[in-house]
Amino acid sequence: MAGTRRRFPLKWLVLLAAVAALFAASRLLPVAEWTKHLESWISRQGAAGYVAFYAVYVVAALLFVPGAALTIAGGFVFGLARGTALVSAAATTAAALAFLIARHVARGAVEARARKDRRFTAIDKAIGERGWKIVALLRLSPAVPFSLSNYFYGLTAIRFWPYVLTSWLAMLPGTLLYVYLGAAGKAAARGEGRSAAENVYLALGLAATVAVTVYLTKVARAALRKAGAGSGD
């Protein structure tokens, strides 16, 4: 419990720092000009630009690269709707591939890594008893990092398609939050011509997204502790 209390604030402090950095950059750097050039380049690439981002995201997740920066970049470059769809597809693909690698290709290596992480035993037992419900809760409030957990799930009793569907749906709130950050940063960078009402709407939308994500995280943590899969780490 003490560890949980220490970590939870840090996560949101980092998130607030990211928001502050985005808005500071929009004021101190020629971000608006850079954004226009980037959007122009993406539009010239057509479908290849989307495919390139998708492929980079999937490979990065498989190689344990934290996805927060790429998720924010997806919102900045592609906007809220397209960015959410693209990042969601890429994250779900990475989760599915890591699961299959652990289950059918590199099971021995993943098992050796899992034995070193005391959280895995509790997670494995909980998934064996409650299946996809535990995966959903862990996705909302991950007890282990996203990339590592994808491999761990391949060692559990859950079947592939329930795992993929659950992962896709349960990852959406977090994906939406970070993509929204990127989209908000883009809006701030190109803020000329926006009315005060539009600025208020943007801020309220961000605040609401953060509030919902925080609430879901708290609910998931409480449910995991009750199920015996929670961790103080």
- If one compares 119 and 136, the residue with the highest pLDDT of the two is 136
Which among 123, 117, 121 has a CA at the least distance from the CA of 135? 123
* pLDDT at site 165: 96
Confirm if 178 and 71 have CB atoms less than 8 A apart.
Answer: yes
pLDDT band for position 8 (cuts 50, 70, 90): very low
Q: What's the whole-number average pLDDT of the chain?
A: 77
* pLDDT at site 59: 93
Mean pLDDT, residues 121-145 taken together: 80
- If one compares 226 and 127, the residue with the highest pLDDT of the two is 127
* pLDDT at site 90: 96
pLDDT of 159-177, one tens digit each? 999 999 999 999 998 898 8
Confirm if 189 and 27 have CB atoms less than 8 A apart.
Answer: no
Judged on CB neighbours under 10 Å (0-12, 13-18, 19+), 57 is buried
Report the distance separating Cα 138 and Cα 132, nearest Å: 10
- If one compares 156 and 213, the residue with the highest pLDDT of the two is 156
Confirm if 188 and 22 have CB atoms less than 8 A apart.
Answer: yes
Is 0.85 surpassed by the pTM of this model?
no
Mean pLDDT, residues 88-94 taken together: 96
Percent of the chain at pLDDT above 70?
A: 64
pLDDT band for position 95 (cuts 50, 70, 90): very high
Q: For 84-110, give the secondary structure using H, E and C.
A: HHHHHHHHHHHHHHHHHHHHHHCHHHH
pLDDT band for position 55 (cuts 50, 70, 90): very high
Report the distance separating Cα 44 and Cα 49, nearest Å: 8
pLDDT band for position 6 (cuts 50, 70, 90): very low
Hey, CA dihedral for 14, 19, 20, 26, is it positive or negative?
A: positive
Burial 33-47 (b: 16+ CB within 10 A, else e): eebeebbeebeeeee
